[in-house]
Chain A
């Protein structure tokens, strides 16, 4: 790796002033599972690597069934799926955290890093969309918030402006009769990047037979993770049946704008997104009914 300086900020304010002092040649380090690979391979260069893991706000994991979840941007993935209440309240997030790389990656990799790396194939982003997460950002002009669904703007690009950092992700409290699921397709069993992925969240009516509300996020079928608002709106008020799930899958297929690359053809991705959306819906409904 090329030479750089290292600093571990102790507070958000200190991180913001270090970022202001060093400009774009400062790179933020959370778990390092993307940035260290990129620095080593010369894909990125840095004068300063700014470690944010010693900032308490960035490694928080605060759950309260009435207030929801506050997840520090640098909190490693394993803490999400090892937290029984969080796993139950935000199951699609736990699904995604459990399949990023392997265990040695999950002890370091953070959801914030996954989001800020802004790959269209990032596994946690569809789950963030499904769970309606909000991103809390700090920068030279103070704090602001953006919906996770609007965070990514192009492959590897996002709404963070000069000198800004992601502080935390906030999730609304869990509601009764809701369930969620993230599914991806990879050609291996583990340790691969999604060819396509679907994260869904549903809330059922009191009978458990009808979908009252849904949210869907899709991975690797567009230049950014995609929020399938049309599909979610169509699902509201529909019966929670295999026919509805299949139709939602076809609708997801219609809004997908995939490309062909080394992981798969556009046609294959369109096929996958329909299957994954259908299966994720069936699983999410099962979880909302308290089975599976």
Chain B
């Protein structure tokens, strides 16, 4: 049996402690140990972005982070976007604007888009396409995703004023 590491982190605002092996990725631990199955495994090599989570506020591919590296960090997954009663404006706009089909890419897009709107509340189409280039979608052709992000950005700006 491989040695288990005892780690603590703050996941979606909740302090959690867990055990894992050194070789386990953050994605594996989120899904298989913490049972947060929102982040998806698309490629397991950093190309598709379906596993995107925020690590201390920054988007990372959780398949390319060892869980042991996240000791003491703040982690936000797609499960952390909505509050108890309301979807996040990004989630609401993805639904209203039909920005998903099969949905496998959606958690990654939502989390990466949240990070983008946190740093740039009014991104241009080009900025959205550039910053979300590490998120692949095989279904939608991207246009509806880009529009949903712009739509959510506008809603968030309105809510702030």
Contacts and interface: CB of A to CB of B under 8 A. Distances in A.
A107 B133 contact: no
B3 A5 contact: yes
A55 to B, nearest CB: 14
B134 interface: yes
A74 B132 CA distance: 24
Contacts of B68: 6, 8, 51
A33 B63 CA distance: 10
Chain B interface main SS type? mixed
A189 B126 CA distance: 11
Nearest to B2: A3
Given A2-B23, A6-B22, A103 B65 contact: no
Q: Which of A103, A108, A191 has the most CB of B within 10 A?
A: A103
Contacts of B152: none
Nearest to B24: A1
Contacts of A36: 25, 64-66
A6 B135 CA distance: 29
Interface in A74-118: 78, 101-105, 107-108
B161 to A, nearest CB: 27
A202 B52 CA distance: 39
B110 interface: no
A259 to B, nearest CB: 24
A2 B47 CA distance: 21
A103 B44 contact: no
B150 interface: no
A32 B69 contact: yes
B140 to A, nearest CB: 17
Interface stretch (B10-18, B30-38, B53-61, B82-90): B53-61
A189 B64 contact: no
A2 B21 CA distance: 11
A37 B45 CA distance: 6
Interface of A: 1-6, 8, 29, 31-33, 36-37, 39-41, 49, 51, 53, 78, 101-105, 107-108, 189-191
Given A3-B21, A29-B69, A102-B131, 12 more contacts: A5-B22, A36-B65, A37-B45, A51-B69, A102-B49, A103-B116, A104-B46, A104-B49, A104-B61, A104-B112, A189-B129, A190-B130
21 contacts: A3-B23, A4-B22, A5-B3, A8-B69, A33-B64, A40-B44, A41-B45, A101-B46, A102-B49, A102-B131, A102-B133, A103-B59, A103-B133, A104-B49, A105-B46, A105-B61, A105-B134, A107-B60, A108-B61, A189-B129, A189-B133
